[in-house]
Amino acid sequence: MRWIEERMERPVPTEAFAKLLKGAAGQASQRPAFHIDRARLLFKEADYLGAVDAFETAARLDPAGFHAWAELAAVHFRLGRYETALDLCGRAAPQTPEVLRERARALLKLGRGAEARAALLSALEQNDAEDALEMLLRLLAADSDGTKLIEVCDGLAPRYAAMAPARAYRAIGLSRIGRTADALKIMDLERYVSRVAFVPPAALGTAAQFNRALADEILADPSPFPPIRDNLELNWDPDRGNSPRFFVLYAFIRSEMQRYLDEMPGRGLDSVMPPRPSIAKFTPFNVILRNDGSNGEHIHAPSYVSAVYHVLVPDSVAQASDTRGALVLGCCTTHTGGYAPCWGVRHIKPVAGWLTLFPAHVFHDVVPPRTDSPRVSVAADLIPVRD
């Protein structure tokens, strides 16, 4: 298989970007694009009223050319102005997947679930509607009758049917209607999980020395992105510098992903997963958790295989007799309105130096570590590149 290592463009720090916009204000005040950039910055800083003003300024300067309807609707959504967000989505042309997704979010808040489902189904008729796919399936997953969820999953266009959400949510539907064996075939938390220890090259020290040094490098490279929530730090594009540790670890993860693909028939996954890709993106990122931090129950929608390598495990987590800090697989009750599917959950106690691999459609989360000491891991995805 041919690998493509994807690098994200590191964003300009917010303060530096703000200075650039301020410096350009005089000469650019009549340019709509300037105000759209300003609105995006203000939205990022949670200044939603300022973002609304900036977007509306851009719209006044170029009424015919203004296309940021979905973004403007999203700002009003954050302000709790759901009717306004819905109206803005109705004014947008064309009705892009982004617009339809924002329309659905507003409709859900207004208690108009059937219309929200219709908007999301319309989005799926277009390309690049992955966000709409997961939103629609999550909406249906909360329904106690899984029949509609299965029907939608089975009727998806091939490009969506091959994605992880289609398998993950179909399993929920199957469990809801009592087709336990079929659900477990998709979500086998024992057979489909691989765990392997990493042995670094002798030149980079023992496993303990390697992981401690790698943890220090990760902790010294704070994420340029704003945190999703307190006590959770995700760095989607680590600064690898001249350190060989990232490259050695990445090579190990890629080789184990390749091995995992080779083992799929023996695990019974060849009849569950779409055909293995011949070209794939390798997307690693760093995760740091403290105290009550967690990732939230999720799947990696565009991925085929996901992996987690534990770099640094706090002593209180390593020595605990409970599940604190554990990687938990199969958990999805926040997606189902509290319903616990038939496959249950599996807790994997983190051990520094061990890699865990599983299909990307397996829901997962981390139990909060409940300590100030950082719990450090490197996660990675194998994302198919389709022709």
Q: pLDDT band at 129, cuts 50/70/90?
A: confident
279 with 337, same domain? yes
310 with 369, same domain? yes
169 with 263, same domain? no
307 with 208, same domain? yes
Find, among 189, 237, 243, 198, the residue nearest to 216 by Cα: 243
| CATH for 248 | 2.60.120.620
Q: Is the confidence at residue 231, as pLDDT, over 80?
A: yes
Q: How many Cβ atoms sit within 10 Å of the Cβ of residue 26?
A: 7
Residue 146 confidence (pLDDT): 97
> To the nearest whole percent, how much of the chain has pLDDT over 70?
93
For 261-271, write each residue's pLDDT tens digit.
Answer: 999 999 999 99
Boundaries of domain holding 11:
2-186
SS3 205: coil
Domain boundary pick from 186, 210, 230: 186
Q: Is the confidence at residue 22, as pLDDT, over 70?
A: no
pTM comes to 0.89
Q: Is the confidence at residue 226, as pLDDT, over 80?
A: no
* Tokens read off for 169: 């949510």
- Lowest mean pLDDT: which of 19-28, 99-108, 323-332, 338-347? 19-28
CB 363 within 8 A of CB 294: no
Q: For the CA atoms of the chain, what is the radius of gyration?
A: 22
264 with 360, same domain? yes
Q: What is the 3-state secondary structure (H, E, C) of 178-195?
A: CCHHHHHHHCCCCCCCEE
Q: How many domains does the chain have?
A: 2
For 144-180, write each residue's pLDDT tens digit.
Answer: 999 999 999 999 999 999 999 999 999 999 999 999 9
Mean pLDDT of 253-280: 97
Domain boundary pick from 122, 152, 186: 186
> To the nearest whole percent, how much of the chain has pLDDT over 90?
83
| CATH for 128 | 1.25.40.10
* Tokens read off for 382: 């194998």
Strand ranges inside the chain, DSSP E: 2-5, 194-197, 232-235, 279-289, 305-312, 327-329, 346-348, 354-359, 364-366, 375-384
Residue 8 confidence (pLDDT): 53
16 with 123, same domain? yes
226 with 179, same domain? no
Q: What is the mean pLDDT of the chain?
A: 93
Residue 11 confidence (pLDDT): 53
246 with 323, same domain? yes
